[in-house]
Chains A and B, each alone.
Chain A
Amino acid sequence: MINKKLFFAFCLSMIMAMGLLSFKLIKNDNSVKSHETVSAGLTLPEGFQAAIIADDLGSARHLVATPQGDIYIHLARAKNGKGILVFHVDGDKATLKSSFADFGGTGIAIKNGYLYASNSREVYRYKLDDKNEVINPDKPERIVKGLIDRRTHAPKAITLDNDGNLYVNIGAYTNICSEYDPNKTGCPILDSAGGIWQFKADKPDQTYKDGIRYAAGLRNVVGLAWNQQDNQLFVMQHGRDQLHNLFPNLYTVHQSTELPAECMFALKEGDNAGYPYVYYDWIQHKNMLGPEYGGDGKKLADPKYINPVAAYPGHYAPDGLLFYTGNQFPQKYKNGAFIAFHGSWNRAPEPQAGYCVVFQPFKDGKPDGNWEVFADGFAGTEEQKASGHAVHRPCGLAQGPDGSLYVTDDNKGTIYKITYKKQ
């Protein structure tokens, strides 16, 4: 015997499911743009091509390219005792030159004749010769030590400015600080985490007391870059998780899927981006008071916290940021930002998303206009993407000497080289 109410509700939801499905099919049809190319498994704008220049490297995180055509790739975990791989790239071919560094990690950068690389606690640097090759791979100089590492948001992404400073992300080792701030009197971990710290680029063995907290209230930053046009630090924050799970009365499953935004901030010394007290709602375009601190999805954040300069859908996980200064790509890309989105996990039970490289147009050193998906298809099939079991996950970005764009994948360890051919 079937209960009538149950049967009715069942039918209704079936009809709705069918409706939704057919809409989705129509939408998918529409979204196949005529001027897109598929190359090395990636979907790119017309005129662009991708090549896989290396594969199966392990967890390839950030990378950096030299004018001589080499790339240094940092692996999350050292493989056979080597955490940094050096390839020479010639066209679409990359040849392994050497490997060194007994530590894995994410951060890697070149500045003023040194290669900088970080693990979860420290930053090292290696002197480079005039060909930008590491002179003494076994004897790096330790620049920063003793940074906090509590597994969650542990990678210390790095970048450098033009005035001899090194910037290090120190992620908050928690989702939203609730376990450390049960009485909501203020998140106590922000004195040593949840921000960007500035150190001297050339002083050995600095610790917290030698650096300054350059910007506070940033949950976790993996993609960060110095913008040469307006001489400013730009960072991509990973927004908080679990709005619905923690506050089912305030946020629906769908809201929790799309919110909060993944944010791009342009930072000045002393800025506070408001974590864990605030989050940014990219649908309402407003900075909101977080529910842990009295917010209800409508109350606004204290205006003393800075607003993002651009915002992206929830949980996309921005892991790489690069300002494009090359001449190979069409003019519109010049000085704009590429963002590598690692892809979501916190959108379940709705389909996972992200897993793409986005282009954000810039004008005069500020985001200008809508972002667009530049390279997609890393995840594999729609099913692999929706389930979160993506095949490739974009992480690091670098610009080659000829203006090509390199993208790392930290799942399979694939390195892509994206080029543009004039029509």
Chain B
Amino acid sequence: MNIKLTGIFLASFILLFNALYAQNNKQPIRQTTTGTSIARGKVVYTNVCLPCHMADAGGVQNMNPPLIKTTYVLGNKTTLIKIVLRGFNEDVEINGQTYSNTMGAHDDLTDRQIADVLTYVRHSFGNKASTIKATEVAKVRAIYKK
């Protein structure tokens, strides 16, 4: 296995992302358009959701559901936000299939990160649904605060 090479490869990628990040940081942060939200959401998706839901959001058969045109992704915002905040472990069918893995709570993500990642998901992988705002996440978080 080429661990060394992979290391250098990853390192240079990190460089690239750092540079990109520095680039991003130059933009005024308050100007959240759908576009910037989607861009930030993609980063959250890659770091947090991709390991289970996969790069193409196709999921893993019998284990993790897809995030492509499911009733949850396209549906009610509160339910969707709640899934990310509190995790999901229910014996339900998702577009006709069941999935055995458990999704943990992601309440360590900020309101903005959750809004961004859900906005990204709702505008990618063939999905078309409205954006989700950080204030909407904050409201749902307040309801389920223990």
- Give the interface of A toward B (CB within 8 A): 3, 5-6, 9-10, 12-13, 16-17, 19-20, 23, 59, 76, 150-154, 173-175, 178-179, 241-242, 245, 248, 252-254, 345-346, 348-349, 387-389, 411
Contact = CB atoms under 8 A, between A and B. Distances in A.
Contacts of A179: 87, 102, 104-105
Interface string B11-40: 011011011101100000000000000000
Contacts of A242: 51
A57 B15 CA distance: 49
Given A20-B9, A23-B2, 20 more contacts: A6-B23, A9-B15, A9-B16, A10-B19, A12-B16, A13-B13, A16-B5, A19-B5, A76-B62, A151-B100, A154-B100, A178-B104, A241-B51, A248-B47, A254-B7, A345-B52, A345-B60, A345-B63, A349-B50, A388-B60
A173 B89 CA distance: 10
6 contacts: A9-B12, A13-B16, A19-B9, A152-B102, A179-B104, A411-B61
Contact of B10 (A59, A173, A241, A252): A252
A389 B22 contact: no
A241 B103 CA distance: 12
Contact of A389 (B12, B52, B58): B58
A179 B102 CA distance: 11
B143 interface: no
Nearest to B46: A349
Given A3-B19, A6-B19, A12 B104 contact: no
B3 A254 contact: yes
Contacts of A387: 54, 56, 58
Nearest to A179: B104
Contact of A10 (B16, B61, B62): B16
Given A6-B20, A151-B102, A348-B51, A13 B15 contact: yes
A7 B87 CA distance: 40
B19 A9 contact: yes
A348 B101 contact: no
A20 B98 CA distance: 38
A404 B3 CA distance: 38
Contacts of B20: 6
B91 interface: yes
B10 A253 contact: yes
B64 interface: yes
A119 to B, nearest CB: 14
A238 B58 CA distance: 23
A348 B54 contact: yes
Given A245-B51, A411-B61, A254 B6 contact: yes
Contacts of B12: 9, 12-13, 16
A179 B105 CA distance: 9
A151 B87 CA distance: 15
B94 interface: no
B49 to A, nearest CB: 10
